[in-house]
């Protein structure tokens, strides 16, 4: 019963904060659009009001982001404590700001999309390419380098619930990476420069993908997997928690790698522990 009460109160707190965040943003836009006295010519006045509304929304979002605490990395117990409260507030604010009704003025153009995400605390390079159908749950915990491309349907999850805790971790994508359509990046995942995550792949919590590594379509990487530089994981492979793959190591398509397995440099894993070929 105590857990249910706390959950109910937490959701109520989130709802209240959602309302407050929306009212602040909507109020700023309304003040910029409706309250200045009219000027002539009328066409120029309309254009100026629309521009003022967009600017007011962006400034309100940026100021709220400065005020709302960014959740710290770690596993925070779901109870009355500062870290969990910070996550509740930040998650509620992100949900409001990323709602299509608020973000749509900025979401059509790539440049304004990046500008909006940066106002929300994301470290997004102007040289990165993000499709409009990318889902980013907590922009303040998201970073992507120049030249990287994120395709449609990609989901970036910086927080997950489980075992009475919310696990929070930033998601970082290096320069020149490709994140394929409908791939999923979970909290704490780090993608090295020029790496390639193929469509439908899942990169688990606290996973490190090395420089120029390739994760095949539909592959699954469990928690705390460590892929060295120039490694490759074949399509449909399942890599369990704690697996370490040395530089230029390879996992065959469809292979299953058991928990805490160590694959050395240039080794090829074919799914059978007895089949380990030195490259």
Domains and CATH numbers, the chain: 2-206 (2.160.10)
Give the CA angle between residues 170, 167, 243 to the nearest 5°. 75
> Which three-class secondary structure state does DSSP give residue 237?
coil
pLDDT at 276: 56
Which of 142, 94, 91 has its CA nearest to residue 114?
142
DSSP 152: T
Q: In the predicted model, what is the mean pLDDT of residues 109-127?
A: 95
pLDDT digits (tens, 9 = 90+) for 8-20: 777 888 889 999 9
pTM of the entire structure? 0.90
Residue 1 has pLDDT above 70, yes or no: no
E strand or H helix at 263: strand 262-263
Q: In the predicted model, what is the mean pLDDT of residues 70-95?
A: 87
Q: In the predicted model, what is the mean pLDDT of residues 218-238?
A: 96
Residue 36 has pLDDT above 90, yes or no: no
Residue 275 has pLDDT above 70, yes or no: no
Handedness of CA 111, 113, 114, 120 (dihedral sign): positive
Tally DSSP H helices, then E strands, for the chain: 5, 27
d(CA 104, CA 265): 47
């Amino acid at each position: 019963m105590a857990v249910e009460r706390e959950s109910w109160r937490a959701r109520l707190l989130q709802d209240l904060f959602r309302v407050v965040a929306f009212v602040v943003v909507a109020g700023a836009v309304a003040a910029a659009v409706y309250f200045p006295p009219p000027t002539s010519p009328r066409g120029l006045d309309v254009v100026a009001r629309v521009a003022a509304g967009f600017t007011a929304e962006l400034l309100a979002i940026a100021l709220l982001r400065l005020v709302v605490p960014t959740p710290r990395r770690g596993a925070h117990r779901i109870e009355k404590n500062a870290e969990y409260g910070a996550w509740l507030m930040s998650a509620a604010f992100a949900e409001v700001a990323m709602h299509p009704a608020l973000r749509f003025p900025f979401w059509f153009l790539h440049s304004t999309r990046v500008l909006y995400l940066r106002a929300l605390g994301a470290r997004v390079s102007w040289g990165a390419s993000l499709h409009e159908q990318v889902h980013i749950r907590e922009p303040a915990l998201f970073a992507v380098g120049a030249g990287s491309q994120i395709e449609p349907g990609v989901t970036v999850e910086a927080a997950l619930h489980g075992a009475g805790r919310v696990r929070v971790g930033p998601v970082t994508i290096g320069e020149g990476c490709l994140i394929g359509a409908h791939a999923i990046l979970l909290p704490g995942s780090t993608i090295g420069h020029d790496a390639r995550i193929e469509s439908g792949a899942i990169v688990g919590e606290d996973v490190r993908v090395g420089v120029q590594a390739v994760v095949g379509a539909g592959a699954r990487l469990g928690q705390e997997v460590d892929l060295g530089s120039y490694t490759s994981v074949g399509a449909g492979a399942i890599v369990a928690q704690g697996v370490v793959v040395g530089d230029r190591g390879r996992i065959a398509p469809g292979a299953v790698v058991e928990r805490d397995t160590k694959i050395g440099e240039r080794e090829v894993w074919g799914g059978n522990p007895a089949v380990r070929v030195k490259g």
